[in-house]
Amino acid sequence: MAKETHQFQAETKKLLDLMIHSIYTNREIFLRELISNASDAIDKLHFESLTNRDLLEGNSDYEIFLIPDEASHTLTISDNGLGMNREELIENLGTIAKSGTKAFLEKLQQAKEGDNDTQKDLIGQFGVGFYSAFMVAEKITVVSRKAGEAQAYKWESTADGSYTIEECTKDSRGTNITITLLPEFYGDKAEENFTDTYKLQSLVKKYSDYVRYPIKMNFVIEEQPKDADGKPIEGAGTIKKNEVRILNSMQPLWAKNKSEIKEEEYTEFYQNLFHDWEKPMEVMHNKIEGNIEYTSLLFFPAHAPYNLYHSDYEPGLQLYSRHVFIMDKCKDLLPEYLRFVKGLVDSPDFSLNISRELLQQSRELKLIGKNLEKTILKQLANTLKKDRSKYEQFWKEYGKSLKIGIYGSVYNGGSDVVNKLKDLLLFTTSKEDKLITLKEYVENMPESQKKIYYATGKDRASIDSLPQMEILRDKGIDVLYFLDNVDEFAIEVMREYEGKPFHSISRGDLDLDDVESQEVKKETETIAKSNEDLIKDIKETLGDKVAEVKISSRLKSSAVCLVADEQGPSFAMEQAFADANNPMFKARRILEINPKHDLFARLQKVHEQGKESTAFKDYCSLLYAQALLIEGMMPEDPAAIANKIAELMAK
């Protein structure tokens, strides 16, 4: 095969330009990224070799080698992992397949130009992998031979928009990545010299100490020759000697005693393993002995990843058995609603070469999973009790996960899940822009209040201005604010909390049970009776637009409002269904009219002109349009409505 030149995909080009002109100061992270790729490639080989021993070609001494060379000012990172063939080199190093990197680029474009802090944050957050090497490289050469295949390939690029691929030879399987360093990154005068063995050693210690394969490097040591007794020979001058040293401790942090581990160690470990630049929000390290034996080290990232609720997010914990890595992203340990938890579990009860399928059925795995879930929920309950502001921070990032868990319990877990999560929920309320638990809400309910009231809206202001809110505010009844799409769905599944049913202020009757409300209700019924014809004619005029027209007992200063029937979905749910392409789930609309409003008297007057009169018809459609607008919905024919208003105003 002759040498081929390929163009980078447009997005890769963008990323490379960014790396070259990066103002990111932490350029040294490229080494961590390449070592982590090398370690992943060994993991992959190890995993595949469980079912195909031949891939090992007789060598299962996994290792990563760093080879700095001052003379050619290069640094090579070599691994004996799975390697890549021609197609894989093109696919992995020529395009950006990872949606994460795509999202990174989008975010970056959104960030204001010259916003250096955001740029820094993003490079750290997304960990741009292989391409980060272009921050320090003039040229990168990748020589790789895939395990089990004979032909090796050489990929090379100066990041000028293209790369070349050609056949080459390589005896051992795996990948060598050679970076020809930019002038500012080699030599004694360099700001950072990446050919300096001691610099490299300290970087490995800092970022890659826990990598589970040995990271080796050759050191040239100057020594005084020794005599037969091992004593240095005086005046003999020094001799140079090569010595291969392992740079990383490989000692898993989780195997140490909790009391011996410093907070910074957990942070570094977490950042290293999960490519995060921030400190984790929570660290949970537990060693369990007894019936079942395991150590778990779990983290909550400081911020929810941008794709936590998308299908491309891969949840799961790492599995180890006696410190030997078995599997990444094992989904079967934790329930869906804890998908944001990162970390690992090490248990001698896991078998080393177990397949994913068998693992799913493993009794030990199920037991450990149940325990981990309990530990996490207990920790959350504890934080809620003892450190409210920390819990609120957690809630801001991951509250949605728990609510989705409750909603999802219909299909997965049932009331058991609801019971586990109901006391961890937080909502703001009409009384204060402060988060409270359901328990706190119920404790503050007046004696006569039998239901938990809630209102749905896009923000506090839009709920505050709902006409239905006025009466509740006047009566001092607190209302939970549902500002997240999933809130109402989750609450629909719960139905009640400690025997108190949830009730939307925009659905069904309010059922306020105090004496005053009972009286108003009676009065409303009387008004409704004496206005039966009017109500019937409004309904007839509006036709299918509304299911029912009613005299309202819930309105104070507003003339009308629209509520949904208690049985069907609410307007917010209707909207959510429509957004999810399910427009058939429609709320049953009920138009409520305030009999105490001056408009009602006017309506009665206009009705005297007859139900077929233009004036009456216009009044009906304007009433309905008003009600829609209050709910944040658009009337079907806004232009016609505007004309009608103009006509009426001109009168």
Ligand X SMILES: Nc1ncnc2c1ncn2[C@@H]1O[C@H](COP(=O)(O)OP(=O)(O)OP(=O)(O)O)[C@@H](O)[C@H]1O
- Interface contacts to ligand X, rule CB under 6 A: 33, 37-38, 41, 79, 81-84, 92-93, 98, 127, 129-131, 175, 275
In angstroms, give the least distance from the CB of 636 to ligand X.
49
Residue type, 296: S
Nearer to ligand X among residue 144 and residue 558 (C-beta): 144
**In degrees rounded to 5, what are phi and psi of residue 489?**
-65, -40
* H helix intervals, 411-514: 415-421, 438-443, 460-464, 467-474, 485-494
Residue 505, CA atoms < 13 Å, CB-side half-sphere: 29
Helix (H, G, I), strand (E, B) or coil at 233: coil
Shortest spacing between CB 42 and ligand X, in angstroms: 8
CB of 312 to ligand X, least distance (A): 13
Distance (Å, whole) CA 412 – CA 154: 50
Q: Which residue is nearest to ligand X (CB)?
A: 129
Across the beta sheet with 548-551, the strand order is: 548-551, 589-593, 560-564
Give the Cβ contact number of residue 18 at 10 Å: 21
* Shortest separation between residue 130's beta carbon and ligand X, angstroms: 4
Shorter beta-carbon distance to ligand X: residue 150 or 584: 150
Contacts of 170 (CB under 8 A, 6+ apart): 143, 144, 145, 152, 176
Considering the complex, what minimum distance in angstroms separates the CB of residue 254 from ligand X? 21
- Closer by beta carbon to ligand X, 127 or else 305: 127
Distance between CA atoms of residues 313 and 347, nearest Å: 26
Least Cβ distance, residue 131 to ligand X (angstroms): 6
Report how far residue 361's alpha carbon sits from residue 348's, in angstroms, rounded to the nearest whole number: 17
Structure tokens at 28: 């040294």
Give, as one character, the DSSP assignment of residue 400. H
- Least CB distance from residue 569 to ligand X, whole Å? 41
To ligand X, the closest distance from the beta carbon of 93 in angstroms equals: 6
The H-or-E segment that residue 500 falls in is strand 500-504
Q: Which is nearer to ligand X, 32 or 550 (CB)?
A: 32
Q: Tell the smallest beta-carbon distance from residue 84 to ligand X (Å).
A: 5
Phi, psi torsion values for 227, nearest 5 degrees: -85, -175
Q: Closer to ligand X by CB, 42 or 345: give it.
A: 42
Residue closer to ligand X by CB (options 97, 246) is 97
Contacting residues for 602 by C-beta, under 8 A, at least 6 apart: 619
Nearer to ligand X, 144 or 506 (CB): 144
Taking the complex as a whole, how short is the minimal distance between the CB of residue 37 and ligand X, in angstroms?
A: 3
CB of 92 to ligand X, least distance (A): 3
Q: Looking at beta carbons only, is 44 or 287 nearer to ligand X? A: 44
Q: Which is nearer to ligand X, 85 or 379 (CB)?
A: 85
Nearer to ligand X, 275 or 589 (CB): 275
Beta strands in 279-435 (DSSP E): 282-288, 294-300, 317-321, 324-330, 342-346, 428-429
Q: How far is the CB of 36 from ligand X (least distance, A)?
A: 6
Identity of the residue, 83 or 301, whose beta carbon is nearer to ligand X in the bound complex: 83
The rounded distance, in Å, linking the Cα atoms of 590 and 552 is 10
Instruction: Answer yes or no: are the C-beta atoms of 200 and 165 closer than 8 Å.
Output: no
Residue 403 contacts by C-beta under 8 Å, 6 or more apart in sequence?
Answer: 425, 484, 486, 487, 490
Shortest distance, CB of residue 52 to ligand X, whole angstroms? 17
The residue type found at 205 is K
Long-range contacts, 439-447 (Cβ 8 Å, 24+): 439/498, 441/478, 441/480, 442/497, 442/498, 442/500, 444/478, 445/478, 445/500, 446/476, 446/477
Residue with smaller CB distance to ligand X, 37 or 570: 37
- Using the minimum distance from each CB to ligand X, give the nearer residue, 131 or 269: 131
- Residue 494, phi-psi category: left (phi > 0), alpha (psi -120 to 50), beta (remainder): alpha
User: What token pair was written down for 32?
Assistant: 């961590």
